[in-house]
Amino acid sequence: MKTGQLRKTTQTEPGTLLAGALALLVHIVFIVLLIFGFDWKAQPPEGMVVDLWQDLPQPIQQPVQQPVVKDTPPPSPAQPKQPPKPAPQPQSEPRPTPVNGTPAPPKKPDIELKDKTEKPKPVKEDNKQALEEQKRKDQEKAAAEQLQREQEALKKQAQDEQKKREQEEQKKREQEEQKKRELEEQKKREREEQQKKEIEAQKKREQEEKARLEVQQAAAAAAARAQIASEIGKYKAMILAKIKSRIVMPPDLPGNPVAEFNVTLLPGGDILDVRLRKSSGYPAFDSAVERAILLSKPLPLPPDPALFNEFRNLHVIVHYLE
């Protein structure tokens, strides 16, 4: 059974071929020894030796010495059992001597058989078989231990390789995750930079648009102010022309006297109050200008009510020669 297992293991596990061959060789030698041992025991007993005695002494049966056998391992179960030892045959008793003077011729004694007791098996042969059996068991044990060590070594090697593969896979996953995180961080930085650039560009556009609008508003305001100033100037010229058309100039005034008046107007152009602000030095000219202002109502005003404040308190300057 063990030999079959060893052969099967040798076919499946490398490194155990030598141990299996040695075990097979030991079994073959053991079987050969058993066969030869059985043939030796089956041989017929040796020839008998007969001793003739005139007077047979009383036989002294000597005890059979039993061989001292050392403690050896139990023999293999395949060894045949030894046959039982034959019992020793009793020797014939001596016949009594006759009474008459002539002694009777001695009768041939029965053939004394040699002790047919089987000689004990030499201790050396038992020790040799025990040593061979022990050697065979040691070899089988060594082969089994070697096989177990090889299996454990293979198992450990497989575990180490599995652990190494797992570590390499773990390291590879960590590297991939690290690379993925770095790529995501790089994309995040790029997005942030792009957003920052877009925000800066948007702010720049807004600032440019604001500046452009301010310029446009300033230009429009300047144009509006210019238009308002032009409108105010036009209507002030119209008012002055209307007042001058109503003046009755005193004759032969020397020089070019100037009379200044403050005129308070109502929204419809009516005159609320006329006051002399600076006299020309000629009362006649001052009175003529004042009468002309009062006769000129309603004074012409621009249609935009927002411009009335420019005419509410009107400053009128009249030159004599103009």
- Give pLDDT, residue 252: 83
Average pLDDT, whole number, for the chain? Answer: 76
- Could you count the other beta carbons within 10 Å of the beta carbon of residue 314? 20
Tokens describing residue 268: 């419809």
CA distance 51 to 49: 7
- Give pLDDT, residue 94: 47
Taking 60 as the threshold, does the pLDDT of residue 10 lie above it?
A: no
Instruction: List the chain domain ranges.
Output: 224-319
Tokens describing residue 154: 């293979």
Specify the DSSP class assigned to residue 220: H
- Give pLDDT, residue 80: 44
Taking 60 as the threshold, does the pLDDT of residue 64 lie above it?
A: no
Lowest mean pLDDT among 38-52, 137-151, 249-263, 287-301: 38-52
- Provide the sign of the torsion angle of the four alpha carbons 154, 156, 160, 165, taken in this order: positive
| pLDDT > 70 in the chain, percent | 67
Q: What CATH architecture does domain 224-319 belong to?
A: 2-Layer Sandwich (3.30)
CA distance 40 to 36: 6
In this prediction, residue 98 has a pLDDT band, given cuts at 50, 70 and 90, of very low
Q: What residues have CB less than 8 Å from 263, skipping those under 6 apart?
A: 271, 273, 274, 275, 293, 299, 313, 314, 315, 316
Taking 60 as the threshold, does the pLDDT of residue 111 lie above it?
A: no
Mean pLDDT of 265-287: 89
Give pLDDT tens digits for 134-175. Answer: 888 889 999 999 999 999 999 999 999 999 999 999 999 999
Give pLDDT tens digits for 200-255. Answer: 999 999 999 999 999 988 888 888 888 888 888 888 899 889 888 888 888 888 88
In this prediction, residue 280 has a pLDDT band, given cuts at 50, 70 and 90, of confident
